[in-house]
Chains A and B, each alone.
Chain A
Amino acid sequence: MTLVGWAQIALVLGAVLALAVPAGRWLAALATGRLGPLARLDAAILRAAGVDAAQGQDWRGYLLAMLACNAAGFALLYAILRLQGVLPLNPQGFDGVPPWLALNTAVSFVTNTNWQAYSGEAAMSHLSQMAGLAVQNFLSAATGIALAFAVSRAFAGGGLRALGNFWADATRVTLWLLLPVSLVAALAFVAMGVPQTLAASAEATTLEGARQAIALGPVAFQLAIKHLGTNGGGFFGVNSLHPYEGPSALATALQIVLQAVIPFALCLAFGRLVGDRRPGRALLAVMVGFVLAGTLAVYAAEAAGNPLHLAAGLDPALGNMEGKDVRFGQALAALFTATTTGASCGAVNAMFDSFTPLGGLVPLFLIQLGEVLPGGVGSGLYGMLVFALLSVFVAGLMVGRTPEYLGKKVQAREIKLAMLAVLVLPATILGLAAVSMVLPMATASIPGAGPHGLTEMLYAYSSAAGNNGSAFGGLAADTPWLDGTLALAMMLGRFAFVVPVLAIAGSLAAKPRMPEGPGTLPAHGPLFAGLLAGVILILGGLQFLPSLALGPVAEHVVMRAGQTF
């Protein structure tokens, strides 16, 4: 670890937080429909689409609209992928995507996961990339943010029935946030050397004189939304490690900013929406704290290097550089890793499979903690609110009152729904991974023996259920079993989680919002933030410790004993 490295981390994270403040203000404006000079244009567009923004939906209506929108998105994407062989904009002449892979990919992009069991440059036509995958990148991000708006509104007042209008929310988020920022960011990426072209490839002559075709495509625009919408699906197979997808340290820094800014900003927007900025800041503080801790852990583990390499005489100054690129360095790789797994983005600028065991444990654990630190766009906030409700429930009793969060009483119905939501991740991740570790058809995908193989499998299901989408690597993922069960995990992680969360929102919205006083639990300040962090670790993390002990921790101790896998 170096001072320069820490300066890089401080600079980039500082930029994220600085941008999160205006972004939070704008998100709150989008949620309340106070769009200033854009209001008339916005109204005209919504009217043309037949949407009445004032027509609020209750939680069931909101849920159904969201599900209908996502189902249509799935059908469209699945059709494009299957038919890409006969559709235009296919200069490479790719065949249609096979059924299991198309299913897996369509679910993956609709759920904002962007798990990729394919290599983009070797499987996807330009049409599939632009009209298929990129469209869902926008739509799934808008869906997440809209859901976060709906849940936030439940705390904003008392006796509410409606949580807002899904169509209006999703449209506004897309038109007035995701599209313009993506356009600007795409141009910035083009300036840094990222291609944006419909050409199939560039011909090059290598130093040996061999001819090589280097894949090209409309990369820059997709790259921008890939990070801004915490989607993470790379245009190229190796994601942001590819020179065209991560040309420089500056480009990787911009990617970090883009993937972290909305999840952080949504906390501040939440504070504005509920009329008290302090609880939003408390949520943000916990998220930033975990991102910093994760960054520190990865940075420390990787910069210390692999003891076996060092024993073999490698320069200890570099640390473990396997799977990393010198143009980013250890510090930006660590910050990228912590934000991409904490934020449910899933893009990578380093290969986790090559991390030291403890370095690899960090992204895995950050995902398993529930993708709330800061989590995906929208999903991070509403996931965090579930933990906040559980925190006030346990601690609220300790101040001698029926627990309440922001003046809303947390009672049996909310706890039941919150526990249902909290159960989704362990049941999906541990259940499917454990079955996969004993099924020969699944273990055939694992390249090696030992705890490292377990980590790879555990990571795959964690990434899918957490809607992260990053791959640990190593695993041969395009098999019917993995395509199918990972698609199942992605759907459960997204929709099985959001149904109880919206139901909580509906239930809380209807309750009166009681004024806070000296007798009520403060939902802000260091005490509450510490409590929330503890509850996330204990209720969100403890159940994964046994499997982690057998995976990365075991690998670490046997590596120290000189054995590798």
Chain B
Amino acid sequence: MLDTTTGTPALAGQAGGGAGAAAPSLLDGAILRRATAEAFRKLDPRTLLRNPVIFVTEVVAALVTVLALRDAAIGHAVAFQAGIAAWLWLTVLFATFAEAVAEGRGKARAESLRRARGETMARWVPNPADPAITAPRAAAALGRGDHVLVEAGELIPSDGEVVQGIASVNEAAITGESAPVIREAGGDRSAVTGGTLVVSDRILVRITAEPGATFLDRMIAMVEGAARQKTPNEIALDILLAGMTIVFLIAVATLVGFASWNGAPPSVTVLAALLVTLIPTTIGGLLSAIGIAGMDRLVRFNVLATSGRAVEAAGDVDVLLLDKTGTITLGNRQAAAFVPAAGVPEGELAEAAVLASLADETPEGRSILAFARDRHGLAAPAMLPAGAVAVPFTAQTRISGMDLPGRGAYRKGAVDALAAALGQAVPADLAAAVERIARAGGTPLAVARDGRLLGAIELKDIVKPGMRERFAALRRMGIRTVMVTGDNRLTAAAIAAEAGVDDFLAEAKPQDKLDYIRRAQADGRLVAMAGDGTNDAPALAQADVGLAMQTGTQAAREAGNMVDLDSDPTKLIEVVGIGKGLLITRGALTTFSIANDVAKYFAILPAIFVAQYPGLAALNVMRLTSPESAILSAVIFNALIIVALVPLALRGVGYAPVGAAALLRRNLLVYGLGGIAAPFLGIKLIDLLLTLSGIA
């Protein structure tokens, strides 16, 4: 009944990017072939109207073509005109090609996602109170509020919430990670995604998405670029480019009037060449490719953004709100020290701690064994000694341990609880040590053998390795990091100091997070945060960048404007870097494009007027062969530079967290001065080739 033959393992390989699957290469043959075809389709002027610079180029190319045809019809020599016309068309084509290549990678991934969507038939449950009665219904016909039953081996037909049962689900189709995850009713792990595969048990799911608006649909639309809208900075840049195009239109059109005063005005072909080389075709042609590639970088990083605006906002972020547990620190506390009571050798305490923890399967318990092994060389026995009786932890006693016949009764637990259970007071020296541990942000556990307190284990939040350095890098970028934790202020302050964050929010309730974000925004700051729980949803929605975890609740995933398919909140930091890279790429190529104009003037202006004023040859600093070769070389350079920069536009300009002033200096040097110098070399080289090949 269910289509489970979509070949999930293969899919995982294709869909997964962040999980290590290779992204399609830039020069993947199939993508290039398809992009070439697509580039021709994009020549439709109605599509090009979105891009004023390239639209003007196309109009000019058409005009020159018509004039060349007319001149050819009356028998004039049109080699030069035809050459210019051809290269003007190529300029337009290279621009549409750049966009098509950028879209190509997304399209390839969208196709593999579509296969996951398939044409699923679901088991519709008309009455959720009686899930035994089901009827087949197409996934596409399921609406919000419908209930379906999904069993092992079946695809979940649409986004929803588990209302009954527990199951392990393979979400590789979405995340690329093939290890199954647990989905259960209630709590923060109740959200399921359409197109994922239930691999064990059965669950009753209430559908939460309208058909066509599921997570998978959104994902397809995003990677395909169909839902792509221009981002705020892109719009502003478009206006700048359109304005420059108008300025140069005026400059070139009025040249007709000025030139006719002194003699004959230059031909339309020459003016067309001058116009197209002056208007910012390079950035105009690459602008949308840069935006699409930016989204694509994020997708390959396994983060989905609901809009390009969110990616851009990531680059602007001033404040990062990071949860302590799982983001800044390892998820669980770990043993960091044994503090023996007076007169107890540390080895004895360590041995007691190991024996008390033998049956403790919690991460804390295992960390005690690991710590004793690393620090004291105490290996835990591979098997429990015969007759051992484990004393399990309960919320009432807050004590656990192990009774070993012939060796003793080992206990560990919260200090006050254990002391109370033993009926003794905590010795003064131990009490002081416990106090110190608590103040430093740790958790003390007392250890006892046969009713005697031996000392304490210090459990500590362990800051993930490398976090301190990353926060320092963020600080250099001008971004403040704020740690959010439910711990008390004392504990929070200690961990904040160790991790090197700029600020912390202790004893934080969801409302506190929301208030903090609103306050920062009122000061004009942009805030990013990650979250997964339903109670995170308001803050995720309020934040300028809200990164929801794929494993999180449906509410959280809908509130955020990005979803991390790997569910790793630390990635927020990299997302900021990707956002910045996108903006830098745009700025760098704009600067390069505008700086190019200087050399083009030196190529074309003397060429246009040298016949009238031979002395203007002095301006031909590149010593180009002839006026025709000079103009043609400039036009050819102008077209080829678009193709040459496609890899850079797709890859993005590298971002290093070195502070704004240093970044500006480096990028101005490379793209500003480089933009002035490059065309001098390029045009000269093309002119040489034209001359050598006898074309000019």
Q: Is A135 an interface residue (CB 8 A)?
A: no
Q: Is A423 an interface residue (CB 8 A)?
A: yes
Interface string of A372-403 (1 = CB under 8 A from B): 00000000000000000010011111111110
Interface string of B521-543 (1 = CB under 8 A from A): 01111000000000000000000
Residues of A within 8 A of B247 (CB): 422-423, 426, 539, 543
Alpha-carbon distance between A53 and B471 when the two chains are bound, in angstroms: 49
Q: Is B661 an interface residue (CB 8 A)?
A: yes
Residues of A within 8 A of B267 (CB): none
Q: A399-B663, A512-B524, A522-B661 are in contact. Are A542 and B254 (CB under 8 A)?
A: no
CB distance from B664 to the nearest CB of A (A): 5
Inter-chain contact B616/A401, CB cutoff 8 Å: no
Q: A397-B590, A402-B312, A543-B251 are in contact. Are A560 and B477 (CB under 8 A)?
A: no
Interface residues of B in 469-506 (CB under 8 A from A): 475-479
Binds B, one of A21-29, A148-156, A513-521: A513-521
Q: Is B246 an interface residue (CB 8 A)?
A: yes
Alpha-carbon distance between A453 and B278 when the two chains are bound, in angstroms: 27
Inter-chain contact A522/B660, CB cutoff 8 Å: yes
Inter-chain contact B661/A454, CB cutoff 8 Å: no
Inter-chain contact A527/B616, CB cutoff 8 Å: no
Residues of A within 8 A of B587 (CB): 394-399
Q: A415-B239, A454-B262 are in contact. Are A402 and B233 (CB under 8 A)?
A: yes
Inter-chain contact A397/B523, CB cutoff 8 Å: no
Q: Is A553 an interface residue (CB 8 A)?
A: yes
Interface residues of B in 251-270 (CB under 8 A from A): 251-262
Residues of B within 8 A of A513 (CB): 524
Alpha-carbon distance between A511 and B598 when the two chains are bound, in angstroms: 36
Alpha-carbon distance between A544 and B278 when the two chains are bound, in angstroms: 12
**Residue from the list B312, B664, B671 in contact with A399, Cβ < 8 A:** B664
Interface string of A485-511 (1 = CB under 8 A from B): 000000000000000000000000001
Interface string of A524-547 (1 = CB under 8 A from B): 010100110010001100111111
Inter-chain contact A534/B660, CB cutoff 8 Å: no
Q: A514-B524, A554-B609 are in contact. Are A437 and B258 (CB under 8 A)?
A: yes
Inter-chain contact A519/B659, CB cutoff 8 Å: yes
Which has the most chain A C-beta neighbours within 10 Å: B252, B258, B615, B672? B258
Q: Is A32 an interface residue (CB 8 A)?
A: no
Alpha-carbon distance between A413 and B505 when the two chains are bound, in angstroms: 37
Binds B, one of A5-13, A85-93, A117-125, A428-436: A428-436
Inter-chain contact B584/A399, CB cutoff 8 Å: yes
Q: Is B316 an interface residue (CB 8 A)?
A: yes
Interface residues of B in 562-609 (CB under 8 A from A): 579-581, 583-584, 586-588, 590-591, 594-595, 597-598, 601, 605-606, 609
Q: Is B40 an interface residue (CB 8 A)?
A: no
Inter-chain contact B260/A398, CB cutoff 8 Å: no
A-B contact count (CB 8 A): 227
Alpha-carbon distance between A435 and B659 when the two chains are bound, in angstroms: 50
Inter-chain contact A550/B235, CB cutoff 8 Å: no
Inter-chain contact B523/A519, CB cutoff 8 Å: no
Inter-chain contact A557/B524, CB cutoff 8 Å: no
Q: Is A54 an interface residue (CB 8 A)?
A: no
Q: Is A279 an interface residue (CB 8 A)?
A: no
Inter-chain contact B257/A438, CB cutoff 8 Å: yes
CB distance from A536 to the nearest CB of B (A): 13
Q: Is B91 an interface residue (CB 8 A)?
A: no
Residues of A within 8 A of B259 (CB): 550
Residues of B within 8 A of A514 (CB): 318, 523-525
Residues of B within 8 A of A530 (CB): 668
Q: Is B667 an interface residue (CB 8 A)?
A: yes
Alpha-carbon distance between A553 and B637 when the two chains are bound, in angstroms: 26
Alpha-carbon distance between A412 and B668 when the two chains are bound, in angstroms: 23
Q: Is A312 an interface residue (CB 8 A)?
A: no
Which has the most chain B C-beta neighbours within 10 Å: A414, A434, A514, A521? A434
**Residue from the list A398, A422, A511 in contact with B667, Cβ < 8 A:** A398
Q: Is B232 an interface residue (CB 8 A)?
A: yes
Q: A395-B587, A395-B664 are in contact. Are A401 and B240 (CB under 8 A)?
A: no
Interface residues of A in 431-482 (CB under 8 A from B): 431, 433-438, 443, 450-451, 453-454, 458
Alpha-carbon distance between A431 and B258 when the two chains are bound, in angstroms: 10
CB distance from B565 to the nearest CB of A (A): 24
Inter-chain contact A427/B250, CB cutoff 8 Å: yes
CB distance from A406 to the nearest CB of B (A): 12
Interface string of B625-642 (1 = CB under 8 A from A): 000000000000000000
CB distance from A114 to the nearest CB of B (A): 26
Q: Is B16 an interface residue (CB 8 A)?
A: no
Residues of A within 8 A of B235 (CB): 412
Residues of B within 8 A of A61 (CB): none
Inter-chain contact B668/A395, CB cutoff 8 Å: yes
Which has the most chain B C-beta neighbours within 10 Å: A401, A423, A426, A514? A401
Which has the most chain A C-beta neighbours within 10 Å: B262, B318, B601, B671? B262
Alpha-carbon distance between A538 and B601 when the two chains are bound, in angstroms: 12
Q: Is B49 an interface residue (CB 8 A)?
A: no
CB distance from B312 to the nearest CB of A (A): 7
CB distance from B287 to the nearest CB of A (A): 12
Residues of B within 8 A of A426 (CB): 247, 250-251
Q: Is A561 an interface residue (CB 8 A)?
A: yes
Q: A398-B588, A398-B668, A538-B595 are in contact. Are A431 and B240 (CB under 8 A)?
A: no
Inter-chain contact B255/A547, CB cutoff 8 Å: yes
Inter-chain contact A397/B243, CB cutoff 8 Å: no
Q: Is B681 an interface residue (CB 8 A)?
A: no
Q: In chain A, what residue has the closest Cβ to B610?
A: A557
Residues of A within 8 A of B615 (CB): 554, 556-558, 560-561
**Residue from the list A158, A395, A430, A431 in contact with B524, Cβ < 8 A:** A158
Alpha-carbon distance between A326 and B585 when the two chains are bound, in angstroms: 56
CB distance from B526 to the nearest CB of A (A): 9
Q: Is A419 an interface residue (CB 8 A)?
A: yes
Q: Is A305 an interface residue (CB 8 A)?
A: no
Inter-chain contact B478/A518, CB cutoff 8 Å: yes
**Residue from the list A158, A431, A554 in contact with B254, Cβ < 8 A:** A431
Alpha-carbon distance between A400 and B244 when the two chains are bound, in angstroms: 23
CB distance from B662 to the nearest CB of A (A): 9
Alpha-carbon distance between A423 and B247 when the two chains are bound, in angstroms: 6
Q: In chain A, what residue has the closest Cβ to B478?
A: A519
Known: A402-B312, A519-B477, A557-B618. 14 other contacts (CB 8 A): A397-B587, A399-B660, A400-B581, A402-B315, A419-B243, A433-B258, A512-B522, A518-B659, A519-B659, A530-B668, A531-B668, A545-B605, A549-B606, A554-B609
A-B CB proximity, top 9 nearest: A519-B478, A557-B615, A397-B587, A434-B257, A400-B580, A419-B243, A512-B524, A434-B254, A398-B587
A-B contact pairs, 8 of them (CB 8 A): A158-B524, A394-B594, A411-B233, A412-B232, A511-B524, A518-B660, A542-B601, A560-B615
